[in-house]
Amino acid sequence: MTERSLILVKPDGYRRGLTGEVLRRIEAKGYTLAALAVTTPTREQLAAHYAEHEGKPFYEPLVEFMSSGPVTAVVIEGEECIKGFRSLAGATDPTAAAPGSIRGDLGRDWGEAVQQNVVHGSDSPESAAREIGIWFPGLSS
């Protein structure tokens, strides 16, 4: 099933110059880049993106980290790209992520700062539609 997903190269990945490598892996997997932008997220944008986590202990550090610098926001398209990208990204904790995955190869062990794990990818078609609307409001679904 052809889908769309939102991918974010987070501030740590952007700062380390990993956007090109992340995009290379996405394209090598066979997914199409449908939209791409480099932007520094606003607090309002991040509040909408992470709304389901508001009030959790990691929420404020996550929003602070994600607003600390530019991110590369990408919409990808492809057959089952949500599931496929999440596999390509690897486990959320870079220390536990398998070698060969983005986080396993490129992530760093930051202890408590697991949110500094290079990339974000939508976890469901519903999340993808909501997230794409936040980052690319003019993109038709």
Residue 40 sits in a domain of what CATH number?
A: 3.30.70.141
Q: Which amino acid is at 104?
A: G
β-bridge partners, 71: 39
Q: Tens of pLDDT along 47-84?
A: 999 999 999 998 999 999 999 999 999 999 999 999 99
- Residue 135: the pLDDT is 97
| Residue in 120, 122, 131, 136 annotated catalytic | 120
Q: Is residue 129 part of a domain?
A: no
Q: Is residue 7 part of a domain?
A: yes
Does the annotation count 49 as an active-site position? no
Q: Is residue 37 part of a domain?
A: yes
Write out the residue range of the structural domain in which residue 110 sits: 2-123
β-bridge partners, 3: 78
The phi, psi pair for 76, rounded to 5°, reads -110, 155
Determine contact, residues 111/105, Cβ cutoff 8 Å: no
Q: Is residue 138 part of a domain?
A: no
The binding site for ATP consists of 10, 58, 86, 92, 103, 117
The binding site consists of 10, 58, 86, 92, 103, 117
Q: Number of folded domains in the chain?
A: 1
- The C-alpha atoms of residue 36 and residue 22 are separated, in whole angstroms, by 13
Q: Is residue 12 part of a domain?
A: yes
> Is pLDDT above 90 for 95?
no
Specify the pTM: 0.93
